[in-house]
């Protein structure tokens, strides 16, 4: 009996150690290593691999295509590469081992963008100081479910409330912040670093305390993949009702929920709307479709002129847009802000150029900023940082 007990104890101990091995087995390889000169060294152990490369947003001023660097194999089977000096930025990257994509096993931090996971790191000392968690008062991120009668379903959105909201009785202005195609209600808090940007700008008194509502622009979804009743579905770049007017038509459901559940000013002067790419397209159309609703409009690399339904789209959102735009101008607003990278895709760049010409032709005022780079989160984080400082003044 004594031997049986000892055997059971040893077996249980072995099982526990095996089950918890990820808790105790630390990866000895340091990657990424941000060096004192702001170069970055990547490492991965793959002794049997024939080729290994690192790819990602590893050059803050380049455009849509990621930069790829071939890594070199050492005698110990560890592949490594050290980048040129990198500017202050929030970076994403992945490894490719003999054609297979993988995150960095030495880096515990990764973000999903559509269906891909990328490892991430930050280089501070400049613009990216806004993207870091600093020693300042922090707001709260909440994932909320709201009823959308226009889509006949409950849907999920993300709400940022500024530091002090819970203990306050005052009303706050609202920024509705929209994502691009393939994104969801988690895009701006992940790749966009929206909470960190707002925390830091508000603490520096460069931005007014505000509520930020980050929606899911894919009305065929309840929520981000894995967060709805569909379960762990494969993330998809294009979904039903993408840019066909349905999101714009039913945006009032979002506004009713927010104004019914949060202390908001509920005035045009206290509402802003902005978005990137598809979200910029949505922003332009929502602000026209719901006239006299938003005093601040922000288009970040907006997908103007790009619509799967083409000119034959039947949604009332897209009808008589020239008249809608003129009506928006006549209703008045405080800021219409547009940002664009010089290396963006031609259909995006030209679509914005054509839209600005329409505005010029009717004398509609706007602010336009053209920056280096292209259709990237590097630009969109920067645009949010600039736009947020101009709101509710």
| pLDDT tens column, 327-382 | 999 999 999 999 999 999 999 999 999 999 999 999 999 999 999 888 999 999 99
Query: H helices of 109-250, where?
Result: 187-190, 194-203, 246-249
Question: What is the H or E stretch that residue 77 is in?
Answer: none
What is the mean predicted confidence (pLDDT) over 385-389?
98
Give yes or no for a contact between 152 and 246, defined as CB atoms under 8 angstroms apart.
no
- Residue extents of the structural domains in the chain: 28-124, 133-388
What is the mean predicted confidence (pLDDT) over 88-101?
96
The predicted pLDDT at position 368 comes to 98
Q: What percent of the chain is modeled with pLDDT above 90?
A: 80
The predicted pLDDT at position 324 comes to 95
Q: Could you tell me where the beta strands, DSSP code E, fall in the chain?
A: 33-34, 40-45, 52-56, 67-70, 72-73, 78-82, 89-97, 100-102, 110-113, 116-123, 140-148, 153-161, 174-178, 211-214, 271-276, 296-300, 335-341, 367-371
CA distances 70 to 98, 110, 174, Å, are: 12, 21, 46
In this predicted structure, the answer to whether residue 315 has a pLDDT above a threshold of 80 is: yes
pLDDT band for position 16 (50/70/90)?
Answer: very low
- Distance separating alpha carbons of residues 292 and 283, to the nearest angstrom: 14
Q: Which neighbouring-strand residues pair with 100?
A: 97
Phi-psi region of 305 (alpha: psi -120 to 50; beta: other; left: phi over 0): left
In this predicted structure, the answer to whether residue 200 has a pLDDT above a threshold of 80 is: yes
In this predicted structure, the answer to whether residue 126 has a pLDDT above a threshold of 60 is: yes
The predicted pLDDT at position 278 comes to 95
Q: Which CATH class is domain 133-388?
A: alpha beta
CATH 2.60.40.10 fits 28-124, yes or no: yes
- Distance separating alpha carbons of residues 30 and 43, to the nearest angstrom: 7
The whole-model pTM stands at 0.91
In this predicted structure, the answer to whether residue 12 has a pLDDT above a threshold of 50 is: no
* DSSP secondary structure letter of residue 128: G
pLDDT band for position 61 (50/70/90)?
Answer: low
The predicted pLDDT at position 15 comes to 45
CA distances 384 to 68, 186, 390, Å, are: 27, 16, 10
Q: 187: number of CA atoms within 13 Å, CB side?
A: 31
């Amino acid at each position: 009996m004594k031997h049986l007990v000892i055997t059971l104890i040893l077996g249980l101990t072995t099982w526990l150690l095996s089950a918890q091995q990820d808790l105790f087995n630390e990866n000895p390889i340091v990657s990424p290593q941000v060096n004192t000169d702001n170069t970055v060294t990547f490492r991965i152990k793959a002794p049997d691999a024939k080729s290994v490369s690192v790819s990602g947003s590893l050059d803050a001023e380049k455009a849509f295509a990621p930069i790829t660097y071939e890594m070199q194999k050492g005698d110990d089977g560890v592949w490594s590469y050290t980048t040129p000096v990198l500017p202050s930025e929030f970076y994403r990257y992945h490894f490719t081992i003999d054609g297979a994509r993988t995150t960095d096993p030495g880096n515990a931090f990764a973000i999903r963008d559509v269906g891909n996971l990328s490892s991430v790191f930050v280089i501070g000392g400049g613009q990216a100081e806004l993207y870091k968690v600093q020693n300042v008062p922090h707001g709260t991120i909440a994932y909320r479910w709201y009823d959308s009668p226009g889509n006949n379903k409950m849907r999920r959105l993300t709400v940022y409330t500024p530091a002090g909201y819970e203990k306050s009785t005052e009303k706050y202005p609202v920024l509705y912040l929209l994502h691009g195609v393939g994104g969801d209600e988690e895009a701006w808090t992940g790749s966009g670093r929206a909470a960190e940007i707002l925390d830091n700008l508000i603490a520096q008194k460069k931005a007014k305390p505000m509520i930020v509502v980050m929606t899911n622009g894919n009305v065929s979804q309840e929520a981000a993949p894995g967060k709805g009743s569909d379960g762990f579905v494969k993330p998809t770049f294009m979904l039903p009702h993408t840019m066909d007017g349905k999101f714009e038509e039913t945006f009032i459901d979002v506004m009713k929920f927010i104004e019914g559940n949060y202390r908001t000013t509920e005035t045009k002067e206290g509402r802003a709307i902005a978005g990137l790419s598809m979200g910029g397209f949505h922003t332009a159309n929502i602000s026209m479709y719901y006239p006299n609703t938003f005093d601040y409009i922000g288009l970040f690399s907006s997908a103007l002129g790009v619509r799967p339904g083409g000119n034959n789209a039947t949604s009332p959102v897209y009808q008589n847009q020239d008249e809608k735009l003129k009506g928006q101008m006549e209703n008045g607003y405080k800021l219409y802000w547009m940002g664009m990278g010089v290396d963006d895709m031609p259909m995006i760049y030209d679509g914005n150029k054509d839209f600005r010409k329409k505005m010029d032709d009717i004398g509609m005022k706007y602010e336009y900023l053209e920056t280096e780079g292209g259709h990237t989160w590097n630009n969109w984080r920067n645009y949010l940082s600039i736009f947020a400082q101009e709101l509710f003044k």
